[in-house]
Amino acid sequence: MTKEETETVVHRKAYHRKSFSFTRDGKRIRVPAEYIHSTEYKEPWKHIEPAVKVHIKHPGELESKGYHVDEDVDSRHRALEQAVKADGYAAISRALVNLEVWNKRLHPAITRIARADHLWLHQTYRQ
């Protein structure tokens, strides 16, 4: 590991805390003054594994089948029906899950639409 990969990061600077007191359940609790140490640790940025590995085999897989998130519900469901007939339930379900996972932080509206379509697909074809 190089120096850039294991950079020391200070998450909290050291400081002196004054004494204080408070009441909890009718009892007076006194907290003494003390020295709070800094928290430092090395973070190997290059070697952190992602929590969930999502493999996208073909980007734009659903768009090539006519599925677009910005269309209305009926046209999205028709596109999903055609895609299931062409590729099967498992492939399309996996593509919708990938669409949910990849957009959940930056585009939550897209995630909600993809999740609703995935639920519809599950109820329609997986009974």
Distance CA 99, CA 61 (A): 10
Indicate the number of domains in the chain: 2
38 and 15 inside one domain: yes
What's the confidence (pLDDT) of residue 56? Answer: 65
Reported as a single tens digit per residue, the pLDDT across 13-49 is: 889 999 999 999 999 999 999 998 887 766 655 455 6
Q: Is residue 91 in some structural domain?
A: yes
In sequence order, the 6+-apart residues with CB closer than 8 A to the CB of 61 are 91, 95
Reported as a single tens digit per residue, the pLDDT across 53-87 is: 666 667 788 898 899 999 999 999 999 999 999 98
Reported as a single tens digit per residue, the pLDDT across 89-105 is: 998 999 999 899 888 88
What's the confidence (pLDDT) of residue 44? Answer: 55
Structural domain including 69 reads 61-125
What's the confidence (pLDDT) of residue 58? Answer: 72
114 and 70 inside one domain: yes
Query: Is residue 96 within 8 Å of 121, Cβ to Cβ?
Result: yes
41 and 76 inside one domain: no
Distance CA 51, CA 57 (A): 19
67 and 119 inside one domain: yes
43 and 69 inside one domain: no
For residue 42, which of 11, 74, 85 has the smallest C-alpha distance?
A: 11
39 and 85 inside one domain: no
21 and 68 inside one domain: no
Q: Work out the pLDDT band at 7, boundaries 50, 70, 90.
A: low
What's the confidence (pLDDT) of residue 109? Answer: 92
